Amino acid sequence: MIYFDYAATTPVDSRVINKMIPYFNKEFGNPSSMYDIGRSNKYAINNARKEIAEAINCYPEEIYFTSCGSESDNLAIKGIAKANKSKGNHIITSKIEHPAVLETCKSLEKEGFEVTYLDVDENGFINIDELEKSIKNNTILISIMYANNEIGTIEPISEIGKIAKKRNIIFHTDSVQAIGNLRIDVKKSNIDSLSMSAHKFYGPKGVGALYVRNGISFKRQQDGGHQEENKRSGTENVPGIVGMGYAISLIDSELTNHIEKVKYLRDLYIKLVVNEIADIHINGSLDKRLPGNANISFLGIKGSKMVELLNERGICASSGSACSAGLIKPSSVILNTTSNINIASSALRTTFGKYNTVEDVKFLVENIKDIVKKYR
């Protein structure tokens, strides 16, 4: 198997696995317990909190652990909206957000909140002027993803942050795809809240985190115990949290080399496809995109069919978001960038990671060429 779907999930780094193992059996205490084996787990959780805080330049007490990026998005958007409803009920987001954001906003609309869904251009960028024009006196929250999970477009986060700060509006960003692929500084970018998920940066599945700046009010979304400063009830997933903290510290220390490698592989892939395969369309920006992301439409063959045929040859790729891969329909993200349904339905997303090689990329392109020749 050759894997080109790092945007869906990443394999857990072996160093991370080794760090986690003791917390399954030897260090198994409940972090809420008062005896030593519980306290040592509490210490491990707080150490992971520090590791995550260092990676995005915030304070450890601003990090709250969750089960995944989707829960982090829900907790941030619902929690902030409901806690600040006395100040207004208007939220601004974009039409190409992850379902965890879009469905959360739709849920809030049923509770009386007003949501503006911004259009994007042909490359997936929101328009900053349109964002400013959409702001109302009752706007309390802006939620725009850092980078798109399908087409890799990196949104103008710092510009959005400046506008939000100037207008005294809380700014949340879904950074699930960005963490581990970009250098992020929440203070420099004026980000008030940020979502992440460990399995996107070589950590374990089933654990995520939410950053919320000190002073920002948000309501808990599930009742129970008083874990995570009474903001997220439930016994902590200690092995997962330890793994997440260590994974982000590793990728942060190796980030420059990681970015250079996956960008080189991505650019090589695009170059070979452009030179050797006709009737293609590159989705998203060629400049401001995630370093390991390539989304190309091979016109005349459906993306879902391409994924199926590549799988038969031992190659893993994707035709869209992993969270909606079971839905065989054109990408809604790409349909928001073009009216051409053929482009949207023939898209293939390939995302590169630290275990890919130049030989892998060449093998991928040769197989795509062969499939296109036989089935287009």
Q: Note whether 261 and 356 are same-domain residues.
A: yes
Rounded Cα gap, residues 373 and 20, in angstroms: 46
- DSSP-assigned letters across all residues of 246-313: HHHHHHHHTHHHHHHHHHHHHHHHHHHHHHH-SSEEE-S-SSSB-TTEEEEEETTS-HHHHHHHHHHT
- 347-351 and 170-174 beta bridge pairing: unpaired
Q: For residue 275, what pLDDT is reported?
A: 98
- 315-316 and 347-351 beta bridge pairing: unpaired
Q: Taking the CA atoms of 121, 123, 128 and 129 in sequence, report the sign of the dihedral they define.
A: negative
Q: Note whether 291 and 244 are same-domain residues.
A: no
Q: Note whether 246 and 335 are same-domain residues.
A: no
Rounded Cα gap, residues 373 and 82, in angstroms: 54
Q: Tell me if residue 323 is catalytic.
A: yes
Catalytic residue among 58, 68, 105, 323: 323
The pLDDT confidence band at residue 229, using thresholds 50, 70 and 90, is confident
Of 253, 288, 315, the position where a domain reaches its end is 253
Residue 351's SS3 state is strand
46 pLDDT exceeds 60?
yes
Q: Which of 21, 11, 363, 49 is nearest to 236 (CA)?
A: 49
Mind listing the pLDDT tens digit for each residue in 172-202? 999 999 999 999 999 999 999 999 999 999 9
- Average pLDDT estimate for 254-279: 98
- State residue 220 phi and psi, 5-degree precision: -65, 150
Of 229, 253, 277, the position where a domain reaches its end is 253
Look up the domain containing 172 and give its range. Answer: 14-253
pTM of the model: 0.95
Q: Note whether 67 and 200 are same-domain residues.
A: yes
Mind listing the pLDDT tens digit for each residue in 71-98? 999 999 999 999 999 999 999 999 999 9
Q: Note whether 46 and 188 are same-domain residues.
A: yes
Q: Note whether 216 and 109 are same-domain residues.
A: yes
- State residue 122 phi and psi, 5-degree precision: -65, -15
Q: For residue 328, what pLDDT is reported?
A: 63
Rounded Cα gap, residues 347 and 320, in angstroms: 8
Q: Note whether 208 and 284 are same-domain residues.
A: no
Q: Note whether 322 and 354 are same-domain residues.
A: yes
CATH code, 331: 3.90.1150.10
Q: How many domains does the chain have?
A: 2
Rounded Cα gap, residues 13 and 18, in angstroms: 9
- 293-298 and 280-282 beta bridge pairing: antiparallel
Q: Note whether 219 and 150 are same-domain residues.
A: yes
CATH code, 148: 3.40.640.10
- Average pLDDT estimate for 208-229: 92
Q: Note whether 237 and 93 are same-domain residues.
A: yes
Q: For residue 99, what pLDDT is reported?
A: 96
Rounded Cα gap, residues 57 and 69, in angstroms: 19
Out of 36-45, 107-116, 248-257, 347-356, pick the least confident. Answer: 36-45
